[in-house]
Amino acid sequence: MGRLSQLITVVVVVLISAQSVADDDQSRALQLRQLGEILPLEEILAISRQQIDGHILEVELEQEKGRVIYEIEILDHKGRVWELKFDAANGDILKREQE
């Protein structure tokens, strides 16, 4: 197998693996939401817009110190990037910082 073929194979495997992880995260978020353990993302985004008006760059659902966290990155109208972290269960703001 040539070097280019090996590289293409590696890229394809990485892309398939990344999609699998994304599907797992989405399934986990849906399950937690259906169990009532986390708030809907729409509610968290509404709270984040009250804090920082701008364009949502990224949203992640993470586990930190025994709690589920929504992490949101926002690009404000002045070109600054902000990171907001919310307790996914109740919407409390845990972190707000400019990156």
**Domain-by-domain residue ranges, the chain?**
1-37, 39-99
Strand partners, 52: none
| N-terminal to C-terminal alpha carbon distance within the chain | 44
Classify 10 as helix, strand or coil: helix
**Fold of the CATH domain 39-99:** Nuclear Transport Factor 2; Chain: A, (3.10.450)
The per-residue pLDDT for range 39-70, each reduced to its tens digit, is: 999 999 999 999 999 999 999 999 888 899 99
The per-residue pLDDT for range 24-37, each reduced to its tens digit, is: 667 888 888 888 89
What's the mean pLDDT when you consider all of the chain? 82
